[in-house]
A and B are shown apart, each in its own frame.
Chain A
Amino acid sequence: MSEWARSHRWEVVLGGVLVITIVANAILSPYYLGLDNIVNLFWLSIEKIIVAVIMAFVIINGEIDLSVASVMGFSAAVLATLHESTGLPFVAAILIALAAGALAGLIQGLVVVKLQLPSLVVTLAGLIGFRGAARVLLEDRSVGEFPEWFDRLGQRALLGPFPLAVIVFGVALAIAWFVLDRTAFGRKVYVIGSSAEVSRYSGVDVDGVKIRLFVMSGLTAGFAGVLFAARLGSVRGSLAEFFELDIITMVLLGGVSIFGGSGTMLGVALAIFTVLNIRNGLGLANVDGIIQTGTVGLLLIGSVLVPNLASHIRSRLPFGGPPLSTADT
């Protein structure tokens, strides 16, 4: 146990913060532990949560995808446009919208891998480009009037006694944990993030893994966009705008290194719970939205930058061996 705690120091800290948050919220608000509130807690952020899970893979792999919120908007806009102006069955429109998200990821992944450009730049272009595409498709209209079953999907659906959002989130987390921690693909994600060159020199298909991650990121963003459309009941070109900031915050707060190579799904899950509970508690206490955002921002600065910087600095210190290769002296 102590061995585990030593190598998962950050998860232990996050767990502590989460417990304190929950206790404080429970004391401060009588509604906090109610079923309604717990459903709300997840449901209002379900899209961000799902995308954060895949973002963890991308960042551990040593890349980043800034375009996710724009791809969410783009997929939702594709869905709304097809629904509005074609007679396509709605399910087909959903599938095309998901494919559009995956394609957005594929294009960006190919550019990153084949042109060897930093994903920061490529997906920044994607952020602007796919948001632009969403706005071109919808101009300044709000498109809605979706089939009833779709709208109902977006309400606080319960599966038996369990809120659907909690189930979706739980399943997504379980799959993500399994893939990252137990499969060869997950192993490659870590090793490539820790050193792409070593992986290449070991016969690992570095480019293939990266492209698959970008496709998964795009597809997941597309799914989140469609889900968001169901929840809102209508789509605008600005759907999910700026969500990428919250999503990346959750992942980094979870202890995933922005330099790649380290981080756990448990940490990301704890960070998501923590952020949701802090926001929820502040909301119940009627704290202004801007201050809520500010609080989460402070949490990010205080808790993400400090350990990341510390481990970064540690990793740059001499390793006890000679500071320079002895060859060619």
Chain B
Amino acid sequence: MNPGPEPVLELRLVSKRFGATQALADVELILYRSEVHALVGENGAGKSTLIKIATGIYEPDTGTMELGGHVFDPGDPASAQRQGVAAIYQEPSIFPDLSVAENIFIGHQDRGLLVDRKRMEQDAAEVLQRLDIDLDPSQPAGALTVAGQQAVEIAKAISLDVKVLIMDEPTAALSAHEVDRLFRQVRRLKQLGVAVLFISHRLDEVFEIADRVSVFRDGRHISSRPITDVTEELMVREMVGRDPSEFFIRTPQEPGQVVLSVEDLARHGVFRDVSFDVRAGEVLGFAGLVGAGRTDVALALFGVAPADGGTITIDGQPVTIGSPTDALNHGIAYLSEDRRKLGLSMTQSVTTNITLATLDRYTLSFGLIDHEAENRDAAGLRDRLGIRTASLDTPVDNLSGGNQQKAMLAKWLNAEPRVLILDEPTRGIDVGAKAEVHRFIDELARSGMAIIMISSDLPEVLAMSDRIAIMREGSLQGIRTRDDADQESVMAMAVGVA
């Protein structure tokens, strides 16, 4: 258990900034030979940025990297691999039409002009055997399962003699049985002297496989300890530990009638058995990790990807929602988490975007648009939400992120929904705009709207919600009232250690 004294990869004081966002701030990470090092943190903690820096996709703004005692400057992923650092992801990047053997040796430039297929397959078989992987080197890699393709990637890394293998959420798409097999391969890698950086949201897996664990939060390195010195509670606390006082305080009020009721809602292979109510004037928060199925439930309620099981009831009447038009007719609106791709038509004007979902309301005879009416309503929402824009004819692309977010909100407020689903309503906007959005959510709830708020920002969910639904891996883990929820208990349910 005691890690050897031989550091392989050393990152010190590494920082990276994207525009206004400090993705990494002076982080330190040291990997030793023959260890499995787990890296944990919430969404936005800086894990992906770190991987991309270590594999040469991004260049750090400041800081030093050393590999085996020498300065490490990967430049690009291929060169990082040649120098001994490779990464595999939850979606393997293999060439489906090539054989297993060809995939394993694809990165080698030293095999000469002509390929000796037989020799290559023998070499591949040898590598696979060293790793205890049972695969036929001549079969096409595209026919393999995700687990099989990952095994091919691991074999490829070994054939390249890597010193460091980064595994980014490798178990996310695997069954329990496949996870066991992957872990056997990881232990074999360790015996071969490789340092494995293992990134996972699943803390039970971290405890099973890791020798040491580092916690990142908001782009900072919080701790690195041997796994034996860490408890789940400590790890969760370090992952979330933020001061919730920076958040808006909701105006207390008694919620009204149940508006939307969902029972045993399911979509095959995506989520199942989701049941909850939302009342008028209530904010129901949805907490969970990315990929827990929260957005999928929202898309089912909004008709983009309809549910295939369960019932949706509005005001006591069962309804069928097969398209966004159905959802809007039933008074359900959905503010997408992806503003640029799904939320706003970037090249179109502020007014066009605000009235897009309600165009029928401004349509006179012969299909003529009542420009005066739509500009009046758009101007009203601009003033109400404080959207800062040169004019209502300005393309939304020219607005700042926070103002774009408010324009998107304006589009849905104009539809006067009874149920408003907000998916990551404050993602990627600055603190000031965030506070404004929170103030509106409170105001809308007070006006009697039923609000569902999906957020990966745990303190935000806790501060804004009356009740909190926690999802994990496509199922609802439970619903807590605000009074008996805190960051640790919600996070514990979200990662499945409770």
Contact = CB atoms under 8 A, between A and B. Distances in A.
A152 B24 CA distance: 78
B176 interface: no
B101 interface: no
A327 B424 contact: yes
A262 B347 contact: yes
A199 B456 CA distance: 26
B27 to A, nearest CB: 12
A187 B290 CA distance: 35
A329 B324 contact: no
Interface in A163-202: 179, 182-185, 187-188, 190-191, 194-195, 197-202
Contact of B328 (A198, A203, A320): A203
Contact of A187 (B336, B342, B357, B369): B369
Contacts of B23: 326, 329
Interface string B344-382: 111110001000110110110011110000000000000
Contacts of B366: 183
Interface residues of A, number: 34
A198 B345 contact: yes
Nearest to B52: A329
Nearest to B23: A329
B138 interface: no
B46 interface: yes
Nearest to B356: A202
B287 to A, nearest CB: 15
B49 interface: yes
Given A187-B359, A197-B341, A198-B342, A205 B428 contact: no
B304 A200 contact: yes
Among A324, A327, A329, max chain B CB count under 10 A is at A329
B325 interface: yes
Contacts of B346: 194-195
Contacts of A204: 356-357, 359
B362 A329 contact: no
A199 B356 contact: yes
Contact of B367 (A179, A191, A320, A325): A179
B286 to A, nearest CB: 16
Contacts, number: 114
Contacts of B43: 327-328
B200 to A, nearest CB: 14
Contacts of A323: 18-19
Contacts of B348: 190-191, 194, 261
B411 interface: yes
Nearest to A3: B393
A321 B345 CA distance: 17
Contacts of A202: 324, 356-357, 411
A324 B16 CA distance: 12
Contact of A201 (B20, B336, B359): B336
A329 B369 contact: no
Given A203-B328, A205-B325, A321 B401 contact: yes
A184 B362 contact: yes
Contacts of A188: 359
A322 interface: yes
Contact of A198 (B327, B344, B363, B428): B344
Contact of A191 (B18, B323, B345, B362): B345
A184 to B, nearest CB: 5
A319 interface: yes
B367 A185 contact: yes
Nearest to B216: A329
A329 B44 contact: yes
Interface in B458-493: none
6 contacts: A195-B345, A199-B356, A203-B327, A315-B347, A329-B44, A329-B48
Given A329-B47, A329-B219, 11 more contacts: A183-B366, A183-B369, A184-B363, A198-B341, A198-B342, A203-B324, A203-B325, A322-B18, A328-B290, A329-B21, A329-B49
Interface of B: 18-21, 23-24, 43-49, 219, 290, 302, 304, 323-325, 327-328, 334, 336, 341-348, 352, 356-357, 359-360, 362-363, 366-369, 397, 401, 411, 424, 427-428, 456
